[in-house]
Amino acid sequence: MAMPLFEINDPSLQRPPASEEIQLIHDSIILPLTLIVVERNRRELDRKARALRSIFAKAAALIMLQIKADLTMNTKALIRKGITVCMNNSSNGNISYRYNCRGFEETVAFSHEYIRNEINKRISAYNAEIFTKDASFHSNRNTL
């Protein structure tokens, strides 16, 4: 069903996104890129024969599962809020994305260095989460 014209031109519908919505948009850009990096690293681990390879591969698999769960939650939140995000173009060392939030359209650009740093931060956070859970599991087993 078409939206009435008075709603299309309603300025309240075209307000900039709130900080929570900006975070959703940011996550929708960074999480898929993080997943790609972790998947690539996991494939490389599978190719190499190392003594601890299986541990690293399992950690990568756990991280990928959590990223996919976070992506699913992020996508559902974006849909619920009526926000769309798409890659606009890539040039001069920057990648730009276009988003539409309730009729408010904007383009954001990130440098490759910024994206690389964000991906590294995310992977570090996921690693810390895995090993924190693992440490609490082992400390609970020792008290039994």
Q: Read off the pLDDT of residues 44-57 as tens digits, 9 standing for 90 and up.
A: 887 776 677 778 88
Cβ atoms of 118 and 35 closer than 8 Å: no
pLDDT per position as a tens digit, 62-90:
999 999 999 999 999 999 999 999 998 88
Whole-model pTM above 0.85? Answer: no
Residues 130/62, Cβ–Cβ less than 8 Å: yes
Which structural domain range is residue 120 located in? 19-82+112-132
87 assigned to some structural domain: no
Domain count, the chain: 1
- Assess if residue 12 is contained within a domain: no
Asked whether residue 125 is assigned to any structural domain, the reply reads yes
